[in-house]
Amino acid sequence: MDSAIDLSDPTRALSLPHIRYQLIRLEDTVLFHLIERAQFPLNATIYSPGAIPIRNTPSTNLSFMDWVLRSQEELQSKIRRYESPDEYPFFPDAMAETVLPPLKYPKVLWENDVCVNEELKRRYVGSILPQVCTDVGRKERAEAQENYGSSATADVACLQSLSRRVHFGKFVAESKFLQDEERFVRLIKAEDKQGIDEAITDAKVEKKVLERLRLKAEMYGTDPNMDAEAPRKINVDAVVAMYKDHVIPLTKVVEVEYLMQRLKGTKWE
Ligand SMILES: O=C(O)C(=O)C[C@]1(C(=O)O)C=C[C@@H](O)C=C1
């Protein structure tokens, strides 16, 4: 599978404008997947372990959605999805050998084991989805068993695009580190996580991200054939809140944790 970052040229891969362009592109991906998911009710049962027995797999204690996600990841690992440095599995134990010859990606990132997928999934199921699936101009929608499979399939796409977005923080962090090595080495050596967080934060860019996202959610969520009063396909406020409270903060966690590991094996260690 292709990486969204241009890895053929490591200098370009670490240029901040190039990375930010990819982050903007990913907003579209995340939004379109969420719009697909929001057409179905929340269907909370699919997130509850054991609530839906998985036939022929009695030993599993996964929720239905987790079982779909894990099965997809197992298949996708065989076609090299997780060889790309911007892809991280939610179920590392499901990784299988690839059926294609392995790829050799140039090393752009520093060695690290940062992965926030567990936390991302917890927030997606517990907070993001309940908000996104309500208040699209309709009453609370009842569970629909016939949509269990479609809901979980859309969840996989949402979770994978969100995971990719927040782990792009590693490229951002590497780029920022190279721009001001002296400052970051000092902060990292002092284990000053708050100082690192302040150093990587750009409030103006964050404000712009949220404004652009609101516009996109309003535009993509409105059918051009419908009148202006018709219900939107997506809860615009929920989308903006998702980025403000979860996506940007988790991207920053990834950036800080990546930088905390950045001096391992260097002359500064
Ligand atoms: O674009 C950056 O510089 C980033 O670090 C990414 C990002 C974001 O998640 O959108 C995160 C932190 C910054 O404060 C601004 C934006």
Among 130, 167, 139, 142, residue whose Cα is nearest residue 37 = 130
Judge contact between 250 and 176, C-beta under 8 A.
Answer: no
Q: Counting beta carbons within 10 angstroms of the beta carbon of residue 45, is it exposed (0 to 12), middle (13 to 18) or buried (19 or more)?
A: middle
179 token code pair: 């721009």
User: Whole-structure pTM over 0.80, yes or no?
Assistant: yes
Which amino acids bring their CB within 6 angstroms of ligand 1?
A: 20, 23, 172, 200-202, 205-206, 209, 248, 251-252, 255
Query: What pLDDT tens digit does each residue of the chain (269 aa) get?
Result: 456 667 667 778 899 999 999 999 999 999 999 999 999 999 999 999 999 999 888 788 899 999 999 999 999 999 999 999 999 999 999 999 999 998 888 889 999 999 999 999 999 999 999 999 886 555 668 889 999 999 999 999 999 999 999 999 999 999 999 999 999 999 999 999 999 999 999 999 999 999 999 999 999 988 888 777 778 889 999 999 999 999 999 999 999 999 999 999 999 88
The span from the CA of 82 to the CA of 184, in Å, is 29
ipTM of this model? 0.99
Contacts of 89 (CB under 8 A, 6+ apart): 73, 77, 82, 95, 117
Among 179, 209, 202, 201, residue whose Cα is nearest residue 256 = 201
Q: What is the pLDDT of residue 137?
A: 52
**Most ligand 1 atoms within 8 A of CB, residue of 120, 200, 240 to mutate:** 200
Residue 111 C-alpha to ligand 1 middle, in angstroms?
21
**Most ligand 1 atoms within 8 A of CB, residue of 248, 254, 256 to mutate:** 248
**Most ligand 1 atoms within 8 A of CB, residue of 206, 245, 257 to mutate:** 206
- CATH number for 10-260 (one of 1.20.1440.130, 2.30.30.140, 1.10.590.10, 1.10.3720.10): it is 1.10.590.10
Domain-wise residue ranges, the chain: 10-260
Angle between helices 169-179 and 181-189 (to 10 degrees): 110
Contacts of 135 (CB under 8 A, 6+ apart): 235, 238
Nearest CA to ligand 1 atom 3: 202
Contacts of 216 (CB under 8 A, 6+ apart): 27, 28, 31
